[in-house]
Structure 1
Amino acid sequence: MKATQNPPTTVQVSPADLLRMAALYLRRHGWHQGTYYAKNTDTLTPPACAAGAIGIACAGHRVEHFSQLDGDTLADYLTALAVFVDYLDAFAPVFFIDEDGHLLDEHTSPYSWNDDPTRTAEQVITALETAADEWDRLHQQGGENR
């Protein structure tokens, strides 16, 4: 870069980047079930569920409800969460069927998937990382987003 050139001022963050940041957050600060964050007011970085970790990756801080996010951040959150749901639908589906055998929801809920009593932190972290890899595989060509 020549001294007279202006460096770029913004960086494009992909849903895969956000999912990897969420996985890293869980590795560093812990995983949680039942609510977005563990009820711990002593720290700014409490253990989080998958959706809570994605939210922190998007916002850069904990928020009590994702409706509090500004428009761009909320769009990033919803996109990253949708990428995660698409991955779960394809590779770890959890569907709810009523007593008559009818499908109640066609998409895997990341909340109920995270809160499954048999779920482990490593499964959640691996799913976030693998969902990111899958997004990259489908959306990048020669190092560039398509």
Structure 2
Amino acid sequence: MKATQNPPTTGMVTPADLLRMAALYLRRHGWHQGTYYAPTTDILTPPACAVGAIGMACAGHRVEHFYGLDPATQVTFRQIVGILTVYLDATAPVFFIDEDGYLLDEHTSPYSWNDDPTRTAEQVITALEAAADEWDRLHTAGGENR
């Protein structure tokens, strides 16, 4: 680097950053169950579910379905939802067993987890932040990416 060049002042946005942005979105704009976003057309930043908040963090706008995103953002969105799913599998596993005793689903869906009638906004926000902390713990060393 030449002495006249300015070094970059921002780092790469990590999955942990996006999870924290989703948590912050919920704190600022509210939490919702049943669909990605509360049904409203007059608010650009409606209350959102956990995955809807991840969509806002990744794309900067409502994400009605990840297929509507550009390819790079779609990959990022799916990666972040996957990281939350892995975290939920480790900390809040939900197993669906059919009437014959067979395991139907071995992964905790962030959709059904978010929509559990006993779920609270604070639990969702805490899970997003904890998943971010876990990602940082596994992927950074001394504040730097591994």
Indicate the residue corresponding to 1:124 in structure 2: 124
- AA aligned to 1:133 is D
Contact 2:94-2:106 at 8 Å conserved across structures: no
> 1:12 Cα shift?
1.5
Q: Which runs of 4+ in 1 moved over 3 A?
A: 6-11
Indicate the residue corresponding to 2:97 in structure 1: 97
- AA aligned to 1:126 is T
Indicate the residue corresponding to 2:46 in structure 1: 46
Partner-residue secondary structure (3-state), 2:86? helix
Q: Structure 2 CA distance, aligned partners of 1:103 and 1:7?
A: 53
> 1:125 Cα shift?
0.3
Indicate the residue corresponding to 1:133 in structure 2: 133
Partner-residue secondary structure (3-state), 1:104? strand
CA RMSD, Structure 1 to Structure 2 (Å): 1.7
- AA aligned to 1:43 is I
> 1:142 Cα shift?
1.7
Q: Structure 2 CA distance, aligned partners of 1:63 and 1:141?
A: 33
Q: Structure 2 CA distance, aligned partners of 1:81 and 1:117?
A: 21
Q: Structure 1 CA distance, aligned partners of 2:136 and 2:9?
A: 23
Indicate the residue corresponding to 2:62 in structure 1: 62
Within a 5 Å distance, the mapping from 1:5-20 to structure 2 comes to: 5-8=5-8, 11-20=11-20
**TM-score computed with the length of structure 2 as normaliser:** 0.94
- AA aligned to 1:124 is V
Q: Is 1:112–2:112 an aligned residue pair?
A: yes
Q: Structure 2 CA distance, aligned partners of 1:8 and 1:17?
A: 18
- AA aligned to 1:115 is D
Indicate the residue corresponding to 2:77 in structure 1: 77
Partner-residue secondary structure (3-state), 2:38? coil
> 1:129 Cα shift?
0.3
Q: Which runs of 5+ in 2 are unaligned?
A: none
Q: Structure 2 CA distance, aligned partners of 1:77 and 1:141?
A: 24
Identity of counterpart residues, as a percentage?
79
Count of matched residue positions in the alignment of Structure 1 and Structure 2:
146
Task: Describe the superposition over 1:89-131 as per-residue Cα deviations: whole angstroms up to 9, x where unpaired.
Answer: 0001111111111111111000000000000000000000001
> 1:9 Cα shift?
8.5
Indicate the residue corresponding to 1:30 in structure 2: 30
> 1:8 Cα shift?
3.3
- AA aligned to 2:55 is G
> 1:10 Cα shift?
7.1
